Each structure stands twice: as C-alpha cells, then as structure tokens.
Structure 1
C-alpha cells in the first residue's frame, strides 16, 4: 500500500489523518458543549426568569384581589380610597412584570395562554373597577354583590390561566433537561466509537508504514556492507521508485557507477602512464622555451627602465611649466583687478566733470539774471533823475561784473565740455583695455588648465610606466619560477606514472561480475638512486618518489606560478 508513496507523503498522510481525527473529536465535543450551553441558557432565560416573573405577577394579582375585598368589606369610603391607590400601584407592578415576561421566547402553547391571560385580565379589571366605583359611591352592598357574582368568577378563570403558565414553565424546563441528557448520550457514544476507530486505524497505518520503511532500509544496509567489502556482484531489485525505494534505486545506481568506474580505471591506467611520459618530454621543451623567454624579458626590462627615467623627467618638466603658468595666471588676475579699479575711477571722474558742467550752467544763469536786474535798476535810476544817479552808477558796475561773470562762465563751460569729452574717450579706452585684460586672463587660465592636464597626464604616464616595469619584472620572476616548475612537473610526471600503477593494484581489490584478468604492472625504468635531487624554488615544495598525489601537485603548481603566468 505504502510502497509507491514517498516517506514525506506517508508522514503527511498520517499527520493529516491524526489531525482530522483530533479536529473531528474536538469539534464534536465543542458541539456538545455548545448544545448544553444553549439548553442551560434557554432554561435560565426563557424558563427560570419567566417563572420568577409569573410568580411575582400571581402574587400581585392576589394582593390586588385581597385589597378589593378589604375595600368592599370596610364600608368606609376614606379607607377604601387608600386601598384603591394601593391597587393602582399593584396594577403598575403587574404590568411591568408582564411586559418583562413577554420579552422572552414563547412556545405556541405559551402564546395561547398569554393571549387568554391578557383578555381575562382586562375582563377582571373591568369587573373589579366596577366594584371599586360602587365602594367610592358608598354603595357597599352593590359592590359586594358584584364582587361575589362576577369579579370572583373572572378572578378564578384568571388564576387558573396564570397557574397553567407557571406549570408550563416547569414542564418545558423538564423537556429541555431530557433533551440535553439525550444529546449528551448521543455525543458520548459517537465520541467513544470515533476514538476507538481512530486508535485502531492509527495502529494499522503505523504498522504498514513501519514495514514499508524498515524492510527496504535493512536491504539497503546489506547492499552497503557488500559494497564496502569490495563485492560489486550484488543484484539489486528495485520494486518501487517512491519512499524507501528511492534509497534502493540510488544504491543500484551507485553500484552500477562503481562498476563502470573500476572498469575505466583499469582500462585507462596504461593511458595515464603513457601520458605521463609525454608530459616529461613536453616539459623538457617547455623548459627550453622558458629560458629563451626569460632572456627576452631581461632585455625588455632594461628598455622599460630607460623609458621610465625619460617619462619621469618629462613629468618633472611639465610640473615646472604648470607652476610657471599658475604664476602667470595670478599676475594676469591682479592686472585685471587693477584695470577694473581704473575703470571705476574714470567713471567717477566722468561723473564729477558732468556735475561741474551743471554748476557752471547754474552760474551762467545767475549772471544772466543779475545782468537783467542791473539793467532794470539802471532804467529805474534814470527815471528817478538826479536822485538815482548814484544807484545808476552802482547798477552799471553790477551789470559790467555780471557780463564778465557770464563771459568767464562760458569760457569755463567750454573748457569743461572739452575735458568731459576727453574723459569719456579715456573711459572708453580703459573699458576696451579691461575687455582685453579679461581675454588675457581667460587665455592664461586656459593655458594653466592645459599645463595642469599635461602635468597630470605626465604623472599618470610615469605611474603607468612604473607599473609596466613592475609587471615586466614580475613576468621575469614568474618565468624563472616556470623554469623551476617545469623541472618539478617532470619529476611529478614520473611519480604520477608510479602512482597510476599503484592505483591499478588498488582497484583490483573490487570483484566484478564475470571477473577480469589482472593487468601487468609496468614499473619505471628509472633507478631510484639515479633520481634527480629535490629541486627547491620560490613557492614550490620538495617532490620525491613518495610525494603527494598528482592532484595536489597540480594544485600547488597552479598556486605557485602557472595560473599567474
């Protein structure tokens, strides 16, 4: 059953089954608890509480009837009115209790009895109120007569209905209890049966699961022990590709691969030995070419050293030129600043000249007005006759001075105008000089920037040449190491040849189906005593006949020089 199912699926199936059983049993228990809780809530809210309300209501009705009897038998209107007030309070209490009772859940039978009670209570109140009216009016005989013939009969009917309602609450509560007991017995029986079936099912599935896992594992252990002892002739039957059958399938694949591997190792050992001999021959040629390459690298290294000196000298010259260009740039900037100041000064002089022209114009106007005033004064003096002669003389003098001032002002104005024109021309020339100076500063900055770039490029070239020189030196060193490694590889190839023969002897331990004739072991013709002494080089290790396996040799050689080269 479980042979074609994965172990994961089997465990998930068992876990899922247990979960379903637990959830089912738990859900059944919760259902029973919920049902019991509903029954208890129904008994309390819909039966116990209404029973209390109905009992209080019955007590109120009886007390109301008692007060009616007392009011009719007292034959005292004042005392009867007190009873009537008490009856009114009891009516309010009865109404409130009845309203509370009507909010509960009513069965169809309860609804019929409740409707009967409402009608009967209304009829009883009508008859009772008629009796109370007789009492208030003092007609006590009519009140007693009405009470005996009508009101008490209606009260009896009302009391019967109310008692039936109270009895019905107890009956329904007993039914709820009986139903709860029945539900408990059903749930207990179902839970017991489900638990028993679940335990039996789990035991059965557990037995099948254990058998489906343990049997293939025991078989796999036996196969692994057989392979460990070198016996590859075991026949592995795989009846399933799921669950523990995957383990047998993997063991079968491992056994087949081991058989193929042993066959290939036996067949390829001679090829490895031949390849080792070819490696020795190839390494001899490689050693010769490496020596030639080392000689060429030495010449290249000398040339690169001379080139490095030349580039460094160019870099120093470029650095000095850059410093001179930076000094020239600073001088040009200072000249530009001085020209800007001259431009500002010439502008100020031009503004001052214009202001002088304005002042001379004002003076000329004042002289002209003074001349006119002196002329007017002379005319007035002439009109005055002899009395104005002195004033006329003064006016003539003032006029003469005004004319001279006007003439002088005109001459000064002409001179100032000429000066202003020359200042404006000078200002334009200075502006042009400032523009030219800005162009010079810009050009010097560009030259400085170019020299800086040349200096940077020279430094980079010098650094690059140094790196190239270091690389050439490193290549020279690596080439020397490669020459040493070629000797090591030759020795390693001979060691690999011997180790291949040792490997062949090792795989002969495995027993294959059909068997295989042992392959003759070819030993190296090289005498152990004639072996070359161990060769030491930078980053290499001593290699002897009993040295590390070829894989380690290849790894160490790659780390010391081959990959770098």
Structure 2
C-alpha cells in the first residue's frame, strides 16, 4: 500500500498510532519486567532472608543445646541437670519447628538433599545424646564420651547447617544475580524499546514528511510557475490524498487558465484586428457622414425651394379648381340648353315632316306657320349665337308663309330642302348634345381631377414641409452622427491601443505547444 493513497489524517493517525502502539508495548514489557523484579526482590527480601535467619537461629540453638548437653552430661547436680534438660527440650522443639519451616522454604532438589542430610545428622546427634543421658541416668560417668563421641556428631551436625548456610549464600547470590539480570533485561528492553520507538517515530516522521512535503513542494513550484505566467509545465498528481487532490486541482486550474489565456489571447488579437478595422471604417464613415451632411444641407435648400414651388402649385391648383367648378356649372347649363335645342329640333323635324303632308293646305295653316315661325324665332333667340341659323330659317319660314300662296311649288321644294336641312340640323344638334354631354362629363372629370390635384397639392405641400423639417432634423442628426463618428473613431483608436496592450499582457503567459 502506497502512502500517497492514504489521506493525510489517516497517514498521521497511522504514524502516531504505531508510535503509541510501540510505546504501549515497551511500557507493557517494562511493567512486566518490573513486576518480575518486584517478585524477585520480594523473594530475596523475604524467603532468602527468612531462610538465612532460620539457619542462623538453628545454628545458635544447636550451639546452645550443645553447651547445655555437655554441661548436663558432665554435671552431678540432679536439679541443675533437670533444668538444663527442660531447656534443651524446649530448644529442641524450637529447632524442630525451625527445621519444619526451613524445609518448607527449600524447594529445589539440592536444598532438600542438604536438609535431609542435616536431618540425618541431627538424628544421629540426638540418638547419641539420648544414649549418653540414659547412661548418665544409669550412674555411668559419660564425661569422656561427651567430648569423644557426642562432640564430633555435634560438629557434623553444625557442618550440615554450615553447608545449608553456604547453599543459602549461593542461592542468595544467584537470586541477587537473577534480580540484577531481571533489572538489566528490563533496562535493556526499556532502552531498546525507547530506541526502537524513537527510530520508528523518526522513520515514520521522515516518510510522512516526505510523502507530504514532496507533493507540497511540487504544488508550490507549480503555483509559482503559474504566478509567473508559465502555463506550459504539466502537473502530475499521484495518489488519493489531500496533496494529490491539491495537485489535481492545480492541474485543472492550470489547464483552465491555459484555455482561458488562449481564448483571451485569441480574442484580444481578434479585438485588436477588429478595432483596427473599426477605426478604419469609422474614418471612412466620418468622411462619408461629412459628405452626407453636405448633401443633406443641399437637399434641405432644395427642399425649401421645392416647398415654395409646391405651395405655388397648390395655390394654382386651388384657383384651377375654382375655375373648373365654374366651367363645370356653365357646361352643365349649356348641356341643359343643348338638350332643349335637341328637343326643339326634334319637334321641328317632326313639324317639317308634317309640312310635307299638309303642303296642299299651306294656305290654311299660314297663320299657324307664322306662329310656328314666331315660336322658332323665339327659340332661336333663346339659343343665342347657336340659334341664329334657326332665326334666319324662321324669318324665311315667315316669308315663305306670306308668299306660300303664290309660291306653293317653291315652298314645297324649299320645305323638302328645309326638311332635309332640319334632319341634318337635328343630327348635328344630336351630335352637339352628345358632344356637349361629353364635354360636361369631361369637365366634371376635370373638375374632380383638379379637386384631387388641389387636395394632393395641399397634402404634397404639407408633406414637403414635413419632409423639409425631416431633412432639417436629418441634417442635425447627421451633424450629431458625424460628431459621434469622430468620437467613435477616437474610441476605436483607444480600443485598438488597449487591445494591443491586452495582447502584450497576455503574451507574458507561456502556453504548451
């Protein structure tokens, strides 16, 4: 398992946990060895010292009983002897008790053999002593046997105790050596554990430090490179710890900054190019706007002249409309007169046709002819200039009527001619009526057209005035646009300079190929 796959908290926790585990193990071993040392010390302080004390007291009691035994066996006073014997019995009982306790305290095989040897020697000494007392009681003098028989047994008895004492000294020395060994081993274990804990702590500290400082140094170097504008250096992150996450984040930041700087550089160059084009276009637009302003000024002057002309045309159209309306009224009246003439001519035509039929009775209707001639004269007078021909005809009719009696034949011929002429006149009058109606219609259409022209001229005059005002406003706006274009050109130049500065600024960053 790699350390960089662990989190920093897990890594530090494992390091400190291992150090604590080693410390706990060393402490446990130290406590165990101290407990062993405590047990050995207690055994040394109690068991060994108790055994030495028992052995010393045992030897003292042997010496005491030996003196009492020798004195009692050599004495002659029975009371003194009894006193000594009671003391010896008491001391022997104490020795037996001490022997029992010491036998319980001796656990090894060598000690038990020595204790058995002492017990044997004691029993030999006791048997010999009892025998001598029996002989003493029998009246035998045993003083010489005390020194000769009993003293060597007592000495052997004491030698057995000396051997036990020497054994105890050796056992005490061994116990002391064992205690010292336990203490030394405890010291070695504690010292070794402490050294191991220190070395393990140093090793873990070095490993943990290297596992953290290496990526941190790499992160610092990468951050400094990014701060200096070097985005070409790749950042590799290994592991899953916080340092790897930091390097990964720096790598993503470096990649994002590289993309951002590339986009900014590309856009800055585009802005610089576009600003140069905008500046050039604004200069062209400024010139064209000035030309447009001049053209608009000329247009405004022309529109003023056109407005004056249109106003004059509108006035003339209004006057023409008035005249056309008057002409229309006159034409309508003329049309009515022509209609009446047409009707009259039709009547004349009919009358002329009847005259042909009643030519035979011309005399009978001369008066009527005069009346008709008079009526024709009246109608001709009413027709005005166009009725002059009819007045002449009427006069001739009256003359003919007066001369009808004398010139019937001539009248017939004249009437025939008159009928033909009347028919022609009727046709002409019909044509004149139709033409007059056409004239009336045309005049009405002309009147309508002139009215429409007058209205259109008024509207045109208003529109031209509005156009003039609009052109004036356009001229003002164009002047303002010209000023704004000049400002835009200046702003474009400033933008061009700023874009170039931005390009130079972004050029500081070094990007990967």
Please indicate the TM-score interval, normalised by the length of the shorter structure.
0.3 to 0.5
TM-score, normalised via structure 2 length: 0.45
TM-score, normalised via structure 1 length: 0.41
Query: Larger RCO: Structure 1 or Structure 2 (Cα < 8 Å, ≥ 6 residues apart)?
Result: 2
More helix by share: 2
